[in-house]
Structure 1
Amino acid sequence: MGKVNGPSVLQAVALCCDFTWRRELRRKRIMAYSKDQLLARLKDLQIEFSQYEHPAVMTVEAQAKYVGNIRGGLSKNLFLKDKKHRFYIVSALADTKVDMKVLSQRLGLGKGGFRMAPEETMLEILKVPLGSVTPFALVNESARDVALLLDKGFKAQERCFFHPLSNDMSISLNTNDLDKFLKSIGRDPAYVDLEANPAVGKDQPPDLAAFVPSGSTVLPDLPDPASAVQSAGGSHVNANNNCKAATEKAIKPAKDVQNVKDKSAKAVNPSSSFTDAEKFVEEILDRISAKLLSETKEGNIAQQGQELGNEIANRLRKCCYPELKNLATIFKNTAYTQGFHAGKASSLTQCPRT
């Protein structure tokens, strides 16, 4: 590797900063409400509320240390995802017992139809960080297809506490004013008994099925990358052969490929960035930028002097190589998967009718 001099390092830092700035600018094109904008909107709607600033809190228990002595009910808010990529906010009183399996059945999703939505999805859809999920996040256009289930226990409270898009503040208001806000964004508030456990069966349809969102947010989970490698080991589908036999043959894995699947089974499913070349490049640059900026601290510059460039180059190569190799492998496997499914669909459409 050639020697990297001081000016090159500074140029690299400048490029990383410029890239980060431009990326943030693109993200902000999809406008997200800020805490101050939300509070201003509540005032415009003539909604009466009290606000309490406190350190950022991640749990209801931590929040209670600052506002637990004030009259009103604290809320816990869950951001959930079902198997069909539909999203839900379940907002309940802190002491309400919410059985996820029961709630899933009541929505008609079967047992285990729910899971917690990943943090990246929370940021993308609700535009709030971890620990700040709140019904107020539905003000963002990106959350238009997210369903909201409110605990009917809120109705019995004089006031209820929620985070106003940020977990360093809590606001309290009554349910009438909460309803007023929700209706202002086109939402019909739905208060349900989250502790109920009604029977669900052939003659007893799910009582909450009407609240399942009809319009889903399209954030598909990609197939396991190992399946792409599996498919590559199969035989080509011949349109002149029997369709069923050809299809079964095409997806049958070879022994060597099965070993690849075993090694990949524990890998995390790739995010949507691996189907978009621009996002994939941004992912790489994000990681390199973070590593580079972490190494170019004032103390490092003073200590390393002119050798800082070489030192950073060596460290980047050492620490980034495994990550970048993993990213490239996932990107390759994703391409294999999409190519296989496209080829399979094309072959099936060419199968002669019998």
Structure 2
Amino acid sequence: MSRPPELKIDFKRYDHPVVLTVEEQAKHVGSFGGALTKNLLLKDKKHRLYIVSALADTKVDMKILSQRLGLGKGGVRMAPEENLRQVLQVPLGCVTPFALFNESASAVSLLLDQGFKSKQSCYFHPLTNDVTIALSSSNLDKFLLSIGKQPAYVDLEASPVVGKDNPPDLADLVPSGAFCSSEESVENPTPKDAPQVNVPKEKTCLPEVKAKPKVQKKGAESSESKVPTNNGANVEIFASDVLEVIFPLFLSEASKKLNIKQEELTQILKLDDFKRRAAPDLESVTNMFKNAAYTAGFHAGFDTMLKSGLGGMPSRK
């Protein structure tokens, strides 16, 4: 996605400890004069996603909003945390319009509180929740337009009549694309005869890759074929897979050097008990590396966003 090198967006940046709620954020930036905001990630029954960005005191009625979008009374609900990671690519507590900078979130619809326009500046997290950005609605518009998003300001507290003679006033803001996640594919399997009306399957779900068979040497069973290629995100399964690979190799080499059958060596060393004891430690270490890599990705993305688009005032700690 091409963007102008200099957007000349005026903003203030406040660094603070990680916060997960508006109340926590207010403790660190509430006295600086900007308006606090709340940001919701919603999902409809067709797995289309919406960010609703509103002033902290704006009342957002989910049922009314759903009707105004033309989705019925129960058409939208809070999106699962998985969508934050996979689509917005932000941590928990960090839903933000700035996440639309990511290509993976290009099809997410954004509804902005029209109350933003009456405020001198509003607070938003960028791609991490240990930083707050303060900027006006006009400067937010510059950013959104630079990534191809047309700002849509809405009276989120309005309750217009929706019916046969009164079509949904926000229907134009319903996105055309849906998102496929591993959780959704298990909970809601698609029937074979169901038409795909949103996004082509090959663009939302990775195709199954069939590996070519490998010729194994005598006495060495294939452990690689037992390891699924898509379990990296599940720490428990990943740790189990690693142990299933390591222990057969260990037994094979140890039995050769000690001239003992693998079955006897397994009983002598009580490897099954050892695997049960080792699994939690391996899961802990794996999760630590996973979180470290995830956090590094957020900060790298945030720095890229600031350098490529936001040319405002220096950081204020």
Map 1:11-90 onto structure 2 (within 5 A).
44-90=6-52
Tell me which of 169, 172, 186 is aligned to 1:207. 169
Aligned residue number for residue 230 of structure 2: 279
Amino acid at match of 1:222: S
Change (3 A) 1:68 1:281: closer
Tell me which of 45, 65, 68 is aligned to 1:103. 65
Q: In 1, Cα distance between the equivalents of 2:178 and 2:27?
A: 37
Aligned residue number for residue 261 of structure 2: none
Aligned residue number for residue 143 of structure 1: 105
Change (3 A) 1:218 1:310: closer
Q: State whether residues 42 and 181 of structure 1, in contact with CA within 8 Å, keep that contact through their aligned partners in structure 2.
A: no
Displacement of 1:316 in angstroms is: 5.2
Matched, 1:222 2:185: yes
Aligned residue number for residue 193 of structure 1: 155
Displacement of 1:183 in angstroms is: 0.3
Q: State whether residues 231 and 238 of structure 2, in contact with CA within 8 Å, keep that contact through their aligned partners in structure 1.
A: no
Displacement of 1:222 in angstroms is: 3.1
Q: In 2, Cα distance between the equivalents of 1:203 and 1:107?
A: 15
Q: In 1, Cα distance between the equivalents of 2:145 and 2:165?
A: 34
Q: State whether residues 80 and 87 of structure 1, in contact with CA within 8 Å, keep that contact through their aligned partners in structure 2.
A: yes
Q: In 2, Cα distance between the equivalents of 1:317 and 1:186?
A: 46
Identity of aligned residues (%): 55
Change (3 A) 1:99 1:290: farther
Displacement of 1:206 in angstroms is: 0.5
Higher relative contact order (CA 8 A, sep 6+): 2
Q: State whether residues 40 and 78 of structure 2, in contact with CA within 8 Å, keep that contact through their aligned partners in structure 1.
A: yes
Tell me which of 135, 138, 150 is aligned to 1:173. 135
Displacement of 1:288 in angstroms is: 3.4
Cα RMSD, aligned residues only: 3.5
- Write out per-residue CA displacement over residues 235-266 of structure 1, whole angstroms, 9 at most, x where no aligned residue: xxxxxxxxxxxxxxxxxxxxxxxxxxxxxxxx
Ranges in structure 2 where 5+ consecutive residues have no aligned partner: 191-204, 210-227, 245-268, 283-317
Q: State whether residues 288 and 316 of structure 1, in contact with CA within 8 Å, keep that contact through their aligned partners in structure 2.
A: no
Q: State whether residues 240 and 279 of structure 2, in contact with CA within 8 Å, keep that contact through their aligned partners in structure 1.
A: no
Q: Which has the higher helix share?
A: 1
Q: In 1, Cα distance between the equivalents of 2:179 and 2:146?
A: 22
Aligned residue number for residue 324 of structure 1: none
Aligned residue number for residue 288 of structure 1: 240
Aligned residue number for residue 55 of structure 2: 93
Ranges in structure 1 where 5+ consecutive residues have no aligned partner: 1-30, 32-40, 229-271, 293-306, 321-354
TM-score normalised according to structure 2 size: 0.62
Tell me which of 86, 90, 94 is aligned to 1:124. 86
Displacement of 1:216 in angstroms is: 2.6
- Write out per-residue CA displacement over residues 48-97 of structure 1, whole angstroms, 9 at most, x where no aligned residue: 11111111000001100011111121110001110011000000000000
Residues paired across the two proteins, number? 223
Q: State whether residues 109 and 174 of structure 2, in contact with CA within 8 Å, keep that contact through their aligned partners in structure 1.
A: yes
Q: In 2, Cα distance between the equivalents of 1:291 and 1:150?
A: 49
SS in 1 for 2:28: helix
SS in 2 for 1:123: helix
Q: State whether residues 105 and 200 of structure 1, in contact with CA within 8 Å, keep that contact through their aligned partners in structure 2.
A: yes
Displacement of 1:159 in angstroms is: 0.4
SS in 2 for 1:201: coil
SS in 1 for 2:145: helix
Q: State whether residues 75 and 92 of structure 1, in contact with CA within 8 Å, keep that contact through their aligned partners in structure 2.
A: yes
SS in 2 for 1:181: helix
Q: In 2, Cα distance between the equivalents of 1:85 and 1:105?
A: 17
Displacement of 1:310 in angstroms is: 7.2
Q: In 2, Cα distance between the equivalents of 1:308 and 1:61?
A: 52
Q: State whether residues 239 and 279 of structure 2, in contact with CA within 8 Å, keep that contact through their aligned partners in structure 1.
A: no
